[in-house]
Amino acid sequence: MPKSHQDRELYFLLPNPKIPAVTATLEDPSFSLQTHPDRYRHFRLSCEGDLARLEMAVDPNAGLRPDHELKLNSYDLGVDIELADAIQRIRFEHPEVRTVVVTGALDRVFCAGANIPMLATSTHAFKVNFCKFTNETRLGIEDASAASGVRFLAALNGTASGGGYELALACDKILLVDDRSSTVSFPELPLLGVLPGTGGLTRIADKRKIRRDRNDVFSTLAEGIKGKRAVEWDLVDRIAPLSRWDASVQEMARELADEVQPRAAADQGVALPDLTVNTKGDRLEYEHLTLELQRDARTAAFTLRLPKDGGPRTAEEAHSRGCDWWIFALFRELDHALCHMRFNEPSIGTLTLRVEGDPQLVLTTDELISSSSHWFVAEVRHFIKRVLKRFENTARSFYAVVDRGTAFCGTFLELALACDRTYLLNDSEVPVFMGVSSVHDGTYPMANGLTRLETRFLADHKAGRRVLEHAGRVIEAQTADELGLATFAPDEIDWEDELRLALEERTSFSPDALTGMESNLRFAGPETLETKIFGRLSAWQNWIFQRPNAVGPRGALQAYGTPQRAEFNYDRT
C-alpha cells in the first residue's frame, strides 16, 4: 500500500495482472479499477436472448499480486472487479436479459472463496476494503433482481465454499450438482479463525431464514453439506444429477426468466466505455470531477462540476446520449474516485465536497430521473442510488461545503445529506443557494430503507415534510438553514476560520475511532439485511482480523496451508 507521496506501491490495482508488483507515482494512473469483457481474465460473459451466462474460470496465475496463486476459482480483488463490471454491463448493455446463470467452469469446483494467501499477506486496511467491495458487488446482484427484474441463478457445478457460497446466496436461486462430493460450506471458523466476510451468516439467518441450530452446525462444519441434506436445510433450492445437469440449469433459468418482463430489446443497450482520468501532481481530473489531495494535511477535496447545458429533457434523448448523459457520467466518475480513495489513499481521512454549477439545471434533470419509467433512466436512477450508498459506506469523514457558486440541489443535496456535516455560508451579502426536488421522497433509499430526509429528521418527521414542501424550487441559504439542512451556517467573516478549524480538529482524531463512530451514526433507524451486513463487517473485521488467533505468528490465517497447527488463546472476551 502507499508508503509516501514519492514512493507508492500500487500493489493491488495493476492494469495487467501478469506484471509483478511495481512502484508507481500518482502521475501513473495504473490504479484504475476499470475493465472490459475483452480484458477479462477470470470470467466469461455471454448472452443469448433473455438468458446470460457468467462462467467463473479464474486464471490461477493472473492474480493482482505475484505472491499468491488463485487455485480452485478462489478470488482476489481483480476477480471481483470483473464480477462487478459484468453485473453492471448486464444492466446497461444487455437490457433484454431476464436471467443470469452464474456458474463455474472448472471441474467439480464452483468457487473456493477469497484467496487465503492473499488475505494472510495483505494489510488490515486492504482486507477491510476488499471485503467491503465484494459486499457491495453482491448487494448489487440483489439490487439488480429487486429493482431491475434481472434474476440470478447460482448453478453450483461443484463445491462452493466460503465466499463462493456467499456469492451463491446473493443469487435468487441455488442449484447444486448432486455428484456425491460437491458441497456448500462456511469453513472460515474451523479452518481460519475468522468469519465469512461477505454477508454469509446474515443471509443464511435473515434471507433464507434457516433455523439457528442448523446454522450453528453448518457454520462450524469445515467439510460442508451436500445433496439432499443441503436441500432439506434450505442451503440450496434444488439438486440435480450430473446426467441431467445442463437440462436442469436450463429449466431453472427459464423458470426464473418467465417470472419477469424484459426491460428492453437487445438493440437498445448502452455501452460502458472506460473513464478518462488525468493526473496532474496531486490532482485527479475527470471530465466532471476533480479530486485534489493534500497529503500533509491528510485531507482531500472533491469538486463536482455541472455542465452549462442542462442536457436531455426526455428519456429518449437521455438514452441516445448514453454514457455521455452528464449526470450518469458524473456519478460514474464519483464511483471510481471513491474506490481509488479506499484502496490507494488510506492515510487521507477527511474529504470536503463542493458541487459547482446552476441549481436550476439539477431540478430539470431530477424531474426526468424521478418520473420516467424508461429502462435506461431507471438504471441510471438505480446506479446513482448505489453510488450514494458506496459514498456512505466509505470509511472517510465527509464535509459538504456550500458557498458561492455551489449547487447542492436535488440529487446533489442527497450527497450533502450523506455527508457527516454540512457547512453553509449564510451571509446576506453573498448569494448562496440550495434546492429541493422530488428525489428526496424515496428515489434514492439508504441502506436502512429510509430516505435521507427521514433518517436526518428521525425524531421529527414533520421537519422532513417541510423540506419537501419546497420541492421544485431553489432556496436561499437562510431558508436552508432554517429547514435544518446545515450543520453550521457561519457568515463570511467567520467562514474560512470555522471551516479550517473543523478540518484541523477532525484530522487530529484517531481514524479507527472515527470509522467506528461514523458507521454507528450514519444509519439510524430500522435494521435491514444491508445494514446488518456492513455493521457486522465493520465490527468483526476491525476486531477478529487483528486478533492473534487469526493473524498472529501462529494464527489460523498464517498457519493455513502449512504443516503448522494454529495456536489459539482460548480465553473468551
> Which DSSP string corresponds to 341-407?
HHHH-TT--EEEEEEES-HHHHHHHHHHHHH---HHHHHHHHHHHHHHHHHHTSSSEEEEEE-TTB-
User: Chain centroid to CA 298: how far?
Assistant: 24
pLDDT for the residue 32: 55
Closest CA to 85 of 145, 148, 37: 37
Cα 237 to Cα 270: distance, rounded to the nearest angstrom = 34
pLDDT in tens, 161-209: 999 999 999 999 999 999 999 999 999 999 999 889 889 999 999 999 9
Cα 261 to Cα 74: distance, rounded to the nearest angstrom = 34
Beta strands 159-161; 109-111: pairing state? parallel
pLDDT for the residue 418: 98
Residue 81 has φ and ψ, to the nearest 5°, of -60, -40
pLDDT for the residue 239: 98
Please give the grid coordinates belonging to residue 522: 450514519
Q: Residues with Cβ < 8 Å from 72, sequence gap 6 or more?
A: 106, 109, 111, 112
Average pLDDT, rounded, for the chain: 91
Identical fold for domains 42-257 and 275-514, yes or no, is: yes
* Per-residue model confidence as pLDDT tens for the chain (573 residues): 333 333 333 323 323 233 233 333 333 334 458 999 999 999 999 999 999 999 999 999 999 988 889 999 999 999 999 999 999 999 999 999 999 999 999 999 999 999 999 988 888 889 889 999 999 999 999 999 999 999 999 999 999 999 999 999 999 999 999 999 999 999 999 999 988 988 999 999 999 999 999 999 999 999 999 999 999 999 999 999 999 999 999 999 999 999 998 888 877 999 999 999 999 889 999 999 999 999 999 999 999 999 998 789 999 999 999 999 999 999 999 999 999 999 999 999 999 999 999 999 999 999 999 999 999 999 999 999 999 999 999 999 999 999 999 999 999 999 999 999 999 999 999 999 999 999 999 999 999 999 999 999 999 999 999 999 999 999 999 999 999 999 999 999 999 999 999 999 999 999 989 998 998 899 999 999 999 988 887 777 667 888 899 889 999 988 988 899 999 999 887
Q: Where are the domains of the chain?
A: 1-31, 42-257, 275-514
From the options 1.10.579.10, 3.30.56.10, 3.90.226.10, 3.40.1010.20, give the CATH code of 42-257: 3.90.226.10
CA atoms within 13 A on the CB side of 225: 19
* Cβ–Cβ under 8 Å, residues 303 and 292: yes
3-class secondary-structure state, position 146: helix
- Kindly tell me the burial class for residue 60, based on how many C-beta atoms sit within 10 Å of its own C-beta (0-12, 13-18, 19 or more): middle
* Cβ–Cβ under 8 Å, residues 150 and 144: yes
Cα 27 to Cα 133: distance, rounded to the nearest angstrom = 25
pLDDT for the residue 541: 67
> Residue 79 belongs to what H/E stretch?
helix 77-93
DSSP for 243-293 reads GGHHHHHHHHHHHHHTTS---S-GGG----PPPP-EEETTEEE-SSEEEEE
Task: Tell me the fold of 275-514.
Answer: 2-enoyl-CoA Hydratase; Chain A, domain 1 (3.90.226)
3-class secondary-structure state, position 230: helix
Closest CA to 252 of 237, 241, 267, 264: 237
